[in-house]
Structure 1
Amino acid sequence: MANVTRTSSPGQGTPPRRRSTARALVGGTIGNFVEWFDWSVYGFFAVYFADQFFPGGNAVLSTLLVFAISFFMRPVGAAVLGTYADRHGRKHGMTLTILLMAGGSLVIGIAPTYDQVGWLAPAVLVLGRLLQGFSTGGEFGTSASFLVEWAKPGRKAFAGSFQQVSVVLGILLASLSATVLTRVLDDAQLESWGWRIPFLIGSVIGLVGLYIRRQIDEPDAFRSLDRATQAASSPLGDMARGHRRGAALVFGISIAGSVITYMWLTYLPTYATLTAGADRADGQLANTIALAVFAVLIPLAALLSDRFGRRPTMLVYAALFVVLPFPLMQLLGSSFTSILVVSVIGVAVLSLNHANLATVFAELFPPQVRTIGIAVPYAVSNAVFGGTAPSVMQFFGDRDVLWVVPLYVSICALVTGFTIWKMPETRDVDTSATGRTA
C-alpha cells in the first residue's frame, strides 16, 4: 500500500495521508468493480432476457452478439477518455468513466421489451451496452495509471493487483446475484423482471463510486507532470509515434487474459452443463467459490511479482495455460467436486496474470502517455478476443464441437506467452520518469 503512515498514538484517528491512500485505493478500483459486475451479469442472465429483446430461434446468440458489439466501442472510449485523463488528470478521467457506466447500467435495467415497443427494444439494449463499452474503454488505463502512480517502490504490483481484485469481486457479486436469484425466483419470474435487478444494482453502485471518486486526490506523478507543463498536448499521437512497442506488448499480453477470463470466470458452468450434463446450479456455486479463492490469490501472486519480477511469473501463467486446458476439460465432469477442482486450478494459474496486468502495463509507458498507452491497445485486444469469446464458444457449443474451446484457449495462451517472452523486465522502472520507457 502506498504512502501509509502509522498512527502515532491510540485515539488520534487515522492520519490524513492514510485516509487519502485508502480512499485512493477504493476510488481507483470501484470502476473496474462496476464494469465487471455489469459484464458478468449480462453473461449470466442473457439466457433469461434474450427473448425479451430478440424474438425468434436465435435470441441468445443475438444477445451475445450485442455483447460483442459493445466491446468495439472500447477502443473509441479508450482513445477519447484516455486522452482526457492524460491531459486533465486521472481523477477527472475516472469520475467521467464511472458516471457513464452507471448510466449504461440504468438504461439496460429499465429498457422496454420487444412486446412493448418492437424493434426499439433491442436498439435501447444496444445503446446501453455501447455506453458501457465506451466508458469501460477509458476505465482500465486510467485506473491502472492511478493505482501504480500511488504505489511505493517495491510494492507496485501489490497495489496494482487490487484493480484486478476489484474485477474478481465484481464478477463474484454478479455470480452471487445469479446464484441467489436463480434459487429464489423461477424461470418465468427471471424472464419477466428478475433479470433487471442486478443491472439496477450496478447503476446504484456506480453512483456510490462517483461520490468516492470526487473525493480522491491526483497521484504525485501526474501533479508533478502538470506543474512542469509536461502533459502531452496530443497523447494519442505521441503514443503512436514514440511508444508503438509498448502498445504492441499490451495488445499481445491481453489476448489470452481476455479469453481465459471469460472461459474460467463466466462460461465454465455452461461448458460443464453442455459437455458433462452437470447441474447448472452446482456449476454456478463452484464458480462462486472459485472466484472468492481468486480474489485472495491475486495479491499473493502480486507479492511474488514484486519479489521475482513480472516476466517470470507471467511466463509461468502462459506456459501452464498452453498445456492445461485439454486435461482440465477432460477432468471436468457432472459432479460439483470436479467443477470446483477445475475452477480453482484455473484461477490459481490465472492469478499470476491478473496480479501483474495493471502494473506491468503502467511500467511500459511514461506518465505523459500512460493512460492512452494502456487503454487503446488493451481495449482493441479485448474487443477482438474478449468481446467475441462468448459468441465463439456459443457457436461451437451449438454445433456440438466443444473440444475446439480448449484448443482456442491454448492457442491464445501460446501467442501471449511469446509476447511475454519478448517483453523487458519492468519491475525496477521508475513510473514517475517522463522519458521513453518502451
Structure 2
Amino acid sequence: MSSAEHIAKDQAPNDARPPSRLRQLAAASIGNAVEWYDWYAYSFLAVYFAGQVFPQGAGNSLVPLLSTFAVFAVGFFMRPVGGLLMGAIADRRGRRTALTLTILLMGGGSLLVALTPTYGATGLLAPFVLVIARLVQGLSVGGEFAASTTFLVESAGPGRRGLFSSFQYVSTTLGQLLASGTAALLVALLSERQMGQWGWRVPFLIGALLSLLGLWIRRGAQETLPQALDASPEAADRPGLFEALRRYPRQSLLICGITAGGTIAYYTWTTYLPTYAQVNAGFDKGDALTVGTLSLAFFALLQPLGGMLSDRIGRKPLLLGFSLGFAVLVVPLLHLVTDTFASLLLVQCAGMVLLTGYTAVAAAVNAEVFPARVRAAGIGFPYSLTVALFGGTAPYVGTWFKQAGHADLFPWYVAVLCFVSFLVYLTLPETSRRKLEK
C-alpha cells in the first residue's frame, strides 16, 4: 500500500473511504488558482492604476510605474515571512489549516486593493493602503506555495509525484490566465479613461469573491499529515519555527540555488514580458495582454507533460535543459521582441517551453529535499526568500534598467542567474525514484 493511501486511511472516518487522489488534486489546484488570480491581477493592471495611486514625477512618465512595481516587490518581501509562518502552521497543525488561512488572507488583500483611494483624493493614504494590501497578499502567497506544494506531492501515488507537482504551476497559470484574460476583456470593453478611473478595480473585486469559492472547495480536502490529527503525547512534539533552518541548513541553501534561476525566468516571462515589450519596443498595451493570455494557455498545457516526463526520465535532465537553455538563449530571445504581435507571441512561447523544465518539477524537487516533519516550513522560507530577491524584483529591475538607459543589460542579468542555477542542478542527486521521506 502506498504512503498516500496510508495517510488517507489514517485521516478518514471509520466508516468512510479514503479520499480519491483526484479530489485532493482538485482541492489544491482550484484553491491555488484563485489565490494566484488575486496575486497576478496587480501586475497585469499596474499600467492602468499607477497614475491613480502615485504622483507623477516631474517630466518622467515612468515614475508611477516604477513606484507600482516597487510595491509589487514589497509584497514579495513578505513572502519569506509567510513561507516561514504558514509553513510552520502546516507542519504543526496540518496542510489544510494553512491552506485555509492563506486563501482568507489573499481575499482580504484583494478587497483592500479594490477599495484603494486615489492619490488625488487622499494623498499619501492611497499608496499606504496599497502597500498594506500587498503586504497581506505577500504573507498569503508565501505560505500558499509551502502548504500547497507539500499537500500536492504528499497526495500523489507512487511514480506520480512529478505529475502532481506540475499542477502547482497548472493552477498557478490558470489563475494568472484568468487575471490576464479578465484584464484583456476589460481593456477591450472599456476606454483608456474608464480603465484608469474605475475599470482596474473590477478584477480585484472579482478576486475577493472567488476567494470565498476557493475557501469552500478547500474545506472538502483531506489532511495529508497524520501527525496533525494525532492526539497522542508523541504527536504533541511539534516542530519549532526555525527547526528546518537549524537542522537542515544545507538543504535550505539548496532550495535557494534551485529556485534562483527558475524564479527570475518565470517572472520575466510570465509577468514582466508584456511590460518589457511596451516600454522597450512600443508594443500596444491591449495587444500585450492578449499575447500574454495566449502564451499562458500554451504554458498551462505543457506542465502535465513535463511532470509526466520527469516521472519517466527524472527531474535532473529537465532542470539542466531549462537552466542551460535560458542562460544561452535569453539574450537573443529578448532582442527579438519588436512591436509586432507575432514576434512577442513567438518569443514568449519559446521561453515557456524552456521554462517548463523548471516549473513542472519544482514542487516535487523541493518536497523531496525535506522530511515530512519540517517539509512545509523547510520549503517555504528559503524558496520565498529567493523569489523575493530575484523574482519579485524582476519587473522593477527591468524598468530601472530602461530608465537608466541600459535596457540591454536586463537579459544578461537573467542569463547569469540561470547559469548559477545550472551549476547547482549539476550537483543534485536524482530523487524521482526515491520514496518520499516521512
Does the alignment reach a TM-score above 0.5? Answer: yes
Change in Cα spacing, 1:221 to 1:363, as seen in structure 2 (3 Å) is farther
1:48 is aligned to 2:48? yes
Deviates more, 1:416-425 or 1:24-33: 24-33
TM-score (norm 2): 0.91
Question: Aligned to 2:268, which of 259, 263, 267?
Answer: 263
Q: CA deviation at 1:424?
A: 1.8
1:100 is aligned to 2:111? no
Alignment of 1:264-279 (within 5 A): 264-279=269-284
Partner of 2:315: 310
1:61 is aligned to 2:70? no
In structure 1, what residue type is equivalent to 2:380?
Answer: A
Q: CA deviation at 1:334?
A: 2.3
The 1-side partners of 2:198 and 2:117 are apart by 11
**What is the CA deviation profile of residues 99-139 of structure 1, one whole-angstrom value per residue up to 9, with x for unaligned ones?**
11111101111122223322222111111100001111111
Question: Aligned to 2:121, which of 110, 116, 120?
Answer: 116
Deviates more, 1:154-163 or 1:417-426: 417-426
Alignment of 1:26-425 (within 5 A): 26-57=26-57, 58-219=63-224, 229-230=234-235, 233-425=238-430
The 2-side partners of 1:402 and 1:17 are apart by 58
Q: CA deviation at 1:412?
A: 1.0
The 2-side partners of 1:304 and 1:342 are apart by 24
In structure 2, what residue type is equivalent to 1:253?
Answer: I
Q: CA deviation at 1:230?
A: 4.7
Question: How many residue pairs get matched?
Answer: 422
In structure 1, what residue type is equivalent to 2:195?
Answer: L
Change in Cα spacing, 1:105 to 1:192, as seen in structure 2 (3 Å) is same
Change in Cα spacing, 1:164 to 1:222, as seen in structure 2 (3 Å) is farther
The 2-side partners of 1:220 and 1:236 are apart by 17
Q: CA deviation at 1:233?
A: 2.6
**What is the CA deviation profile of residues 32-87 of structure 1, one whole-angstrom value per residue up to 9, with x for unaligned ones?**
32343233221111121112221222222111111111111111111111111100
The 2-side partners of 1:17 and 1:318 are apart by 43
The 1-side partners of 2:117 and 2:278 are apart by 31
SS at match of 1:324: helix
Change in Cα spacing, 1:29 to 1:170, as seen in structure 2 (3 Å) is same
In structure 1, what residue type is equivalent to 2:162?
Answer: A
Q: CA deviation at 1:27?
A: 2.0
Change in Cα spacing, 1:101 to 1:291, as seen in structure 2 (3 Å) is same
The 2-side partners of 1:414 and 1:151 are apart by 31
The 2-side partners of 1:327 and 1:219 are apart by 45
8 Å Cα contact 1:231/1:368 also seen in 2: no
SS at match of 1:424: coil
In structure 1, what residue type is equivalent to 2:26?
Answer: V
Q: CA deviation at 1:348?
A: 0.7
The 1-side partners of 2:372 and 2:233 are apart by 12
Q: CA deviation at 1:223?
A: 5.9
Change in Cα spacing, 1:357 to 1:232, as seen in structure 2 (3 Å) is farther
Percentage identity across paired residues of the two chains? 45
In structure 2, what residue type is equivalent to 1:242?
Answer: R
Q: CA deviation at 1:222?
A: 5.1
Q: CA deviation at 1:23?
A: 3.0
**What is the CA deviation profile of residues 263-313 of structure 1, one whole-angstrom value per residue up to 9, with x for unaligned ones?**
111222222233333333333222211111110101101111000111111
Deviates more, 1:373-382 or 1:70-79: 70-79
Change in Cα spacing, 1:380 to 1:324, as seen in structure 2 (3 Å) is same
Deviates more, 1:300-309 or 1:112-121: 112-121
8 Å Cα contact 1:162/1:299 also seen in 2: yes
8 Å Cα contact 1:290/1:340 also seen in 2: yes
Q: CA deviation at 1:391?
A: 0.9
The 1-side partners of 2:278 and 2:98 are apart by 41
Change in Cα spacing, 1:318 to 1:294, as seen in structure 2 (3 Å) is same
Change in Cα spacing, 1:133 to 1:361, as seen in structure 2 (3 Å) is same
In structure 1, what residue type is equivalent to 2:32?
Answer: N
Q: CA deviation at 1:410?
A: 0.3
Change in Cα spacing, 1:188 to 1:369, as seen in structure 2 (3 Å) is same
The 1-side partners of 2:230 and 2:435 are apart by 14
TM-score (norm 1): 0.91
The 2-side partners of 1:105 and 1:276 are apart by 31
Partner of 1:9: none
Task: Give the gaps of 5 or more residues in structure 2.
Answer: 6-15, 58-62
The 1-side partners of 2:347 and 2:152 are apart by 32
In structure 2, what residue type is equivalent to 1:49?
Answer: F
Deviates more, 1:228-237 or 1:33-42: 228-237
Could you list the runs of 4 or more consecutive aligned residues of structure 1 that deviate by over 4 angstroms after TM superposition?
16-20, 220-228
8 Å Cα contact 1:34/1:101 also seen in 2: no
8 Å Cα contact 1:61/1:391 also seen in 2: yes
Change in Cα spacing, 1:224 to 1:80, as seen in structure 2 (3 Å) is closer
Change in Cα spacing, 1:117 to 1:275, as seen in structure 2 (3 Å) is closer
